[in-house]
């Protein structure tokens, strides 16, 4: 197997070498999605009346304070600024005060590479930063499933501290948070009709948090939008695992074949997934490049 691993495989996204996927900090700050980078393009924070159904938010463990720190992660930071902007705009339409501070990588790539000591050091630094916001009454919202899995499932074990547990308890997946705020359909958000067919793929790092269908439920709030939950297992990508050699890419294709076959046969107008890596894999093996659910939601807002 070692012989196979020696052959570098180039990521199909912009010919970016897969070996650089594990980089946790870089020098391309000008390209980053940050509060400073958004500048005047960032929507101003508006205060809207609180939605009804506060009890729905309470059941989901989400208060209605609406002070949010958005943990955007490396994908939004380097590649997918528009998804980050969509998250901020939707939250602000709901009356949330949204902070987008300069934050470091969650360190999952380091953990995946076996660099546990460095990962623990970086994780502790990030946890302290986020805990400062939590102590000030903010809640952490994420859009990247892997970042969320790391903050909520990994940090309490990796750091074994009350600080890490407190951060985890106050961290929420964006779709879960929006569902809690919107409640039982009595939402302040108004959607335009969208007569389209969508197939949604759940990333593994949402399954690990028992959040498989939250984005599906959220998208189904859009009138006339038909959303199919495609339950075909892993796409095979494994974060950046499948990008590191041609041999791995071949294994990943076999793992994801049931999913790819379903997309090709059903031919939905749109394929959606919350995971950027899943999107790369699905786009590579089908003719349907996926979009993030937040784009669909934002486009449907009146």
Here the CATH number for the domain that contains residue 202 is 3.40.50
Which bin fits 199, alpha (ψ -120 to 50), beta or left (φ > 0)? beta
* pTM score over 0.85: no
Looking at the structure, do residues 251 and 165 belong to the same domain, yes or no? no
The per-residue pLDDT for 157 is 95
Q: Which of 18, 275, 57 is nearest to 172 (CA)?
A: 57
Query: Of 154, 181, 208, which residue is a domain's last?
Result: 181
CB of 264 closer than 8 Å to CB of 284: no
Q: Which of 187, 181, 194, 162 is nearest to 293 (CA)?
A: 194
Classify residue 29: in a domain, yes or no: no
Distance from C-alpha of 186 to C-alpha of 204, rounded to nearest angstrom: 31
In order, the DSSP letters of 54-115 are HHHHHHTT--S--EEEEE-HHHHHHT-HHHHHHHHHHHHHTT-EEE-------SHHHHHTT-
How many domains is the chain built from?
Answer: 2
The per-residue pLDDT for 266 is 81
Looking at the structure, do residues 251 and 117 belong to the same domain, yes or no? no
Q: Which of 142, 137, 67, 135 is nearest to 103 (CA)?
A: 142
Distance of CA 135 to the CA centre of its chain: 24
Looking at the structure, do residues 107 and 227 belong to the same domain, yes or no? no
Dihedral over Cα of 54, 185, 178, 206: its sign: positive
Looking at the structure, do residues 255 and 216 belong to the same domain, yes or no? yes
The per-residue pLDDT for 236 is 66
Which residues constitute the domain of residue 119? 34-181
Q: What is the pLDDT along the chain (302 residues), one digit of tens a residue?
A: 444 443 333 333 333 333 333 333 333 333 445 443 333 333 333 222 333 334 444 444 455 568 999 999 998 988 888 999 999 999 999 888 999 998 999 999 899 888 999 999 999 999 999 999 999 999 999 999 999 999 999 999 999 999 999 999 999 999 999 998 887 444 478 888 888 888 898 888 888 888 878 999 999 989 999 888 888 777 667 766 656 667 677 776 676 677 777 778 888 888 888 888 788 878 787 877 888 999 999 999 87
């Amino acid at each position: 197997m070692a012989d196979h691993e020696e052959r570098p495989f180039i990521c199909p996204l912009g010919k970016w070498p897969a070996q650089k996927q594990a980089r946790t900090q870089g020098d391309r700050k000008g390209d980053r999605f940050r509060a400073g980078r958004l500048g005047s393009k960032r929507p101003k924070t508006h205060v809207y009346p609180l939605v009804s159904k506060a009890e729905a938010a309470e059941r989901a463990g989400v208060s209605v304070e609406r002070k949010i720190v958005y943990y955007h992660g490396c994908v939004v930071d380097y590649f997918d600024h528009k998804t980050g902007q969509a998250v901020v705009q939707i939250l602000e339409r709901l009356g949330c005060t949204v902070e987008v501070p300069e934050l470091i990588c969650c360190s999952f790539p380091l953990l995946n590479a076996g660099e546990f000591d460095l990962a623990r050091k970086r994780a502790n630094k990030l946890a302290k930063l986020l805990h400062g916001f939590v102590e000030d009454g903010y809640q952490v919202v994420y859009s990247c499933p892997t970042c969320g899995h790391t903050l909520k499932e990994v940090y309490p074990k990796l750091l074994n501290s009350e600080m890490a547990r407190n951060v985890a308890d106050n961290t929420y997946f964006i779709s879960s948070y929006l569902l809690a705020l919107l409640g039982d359909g009595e939402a302040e958000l108004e959607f335009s009709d969208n007569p389209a067919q969508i197939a949604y793929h759940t990333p593994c790092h949402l399954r690990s948090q028992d959040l498989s269908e939250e984005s599906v439920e959220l998208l189904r709030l859009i009138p006339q939008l038909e959303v199919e939950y495609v339950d075909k297992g892993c796409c095979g990508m494994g974060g950046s695992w499948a990008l590191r050699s041609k041999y791995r890419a071949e294994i990943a294709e076999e793992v994801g074949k049931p999913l790819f076959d379903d997309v090709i046969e059903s031919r939905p107008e749109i394929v959606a997934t919350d995971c950027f890596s899943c999107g790369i894999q699905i786009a590579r093996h089908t003719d349907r490049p996926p979009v993030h659910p937040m784009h669909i939601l934002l486009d449907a807002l009146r």
